[in-house]
Amino acid sequence: MALLHTWGRGVKRLREIWMEQPEAHDYLAARDYLSLLLDARRAAAIAAGLRRAPLARHKAKDILRAGNLPILPKDNPFVARDLRKVRKGKALSPVLLVRGDMRRGLSLVIADGYHRICASWYVDENALIPCRVVPCP
């Protein structure tokens, strides 16, 4: 889908491009992050589950709300890097998510891709982002 968005002066036509599959290093990053929240064995099991999970699509605004996370500023170095990729037509890697549990008061966890989600939000908060989602352990 082509998007109109203001970048500095004037309006430029943008198109978000997403890879079909997350990159191998995304799963390692997810495991490393999850190991701060869970023991190493559970973090590795969730990362393995993310590799097998089907691709789903969710809006940037909904992912951020479900994770109770703020939108990072455009000048955050990693958000800015991903926005530059979008402007150049380079594909972004799908994001990796661990589903929250409302009954237990647990928010969605972005295991990998927070900066990509924020960059996508700046392009179009309603654009569908490819995700792999696994249940909360």
Helix (H) or strand (E) holding 109: strand 109-112
Strand order of the β-sheet with 55-59 is 55-59, 128-134, 95-98, 109-112
Measure the CA–CA gap between 30 and 32, rounded to whole angstroms: 5
Q: What is the DSSP letter of 11?
A: E
What whole-number distance in Å separates Cα of residue 43 and Cα of residue 40?
5
Domain 16-134, classified CATH 3.40.1350, yes or no: no
pLDDT digits (tens, 9 = 90+) for 107-122: 999 999 999 999 999 9
Domain ranges of the chain: 16-134
Q: How many CB atoms sit inside 10 A of residue 111's CB?
A: 26
Contact present, 82 and 115 (Cβ < 8 Å): yes
- Per-residue model confidence (pLDDT) at position 97: 98
pLDDT at 17: 84
pLDDT per residue over 17-42, tens digit each? Answer: 899 999 999 999 999 999 999 999 99
pTM: 0.87
Instruction: Provide the pLDDT for residue 4.
Output: 39
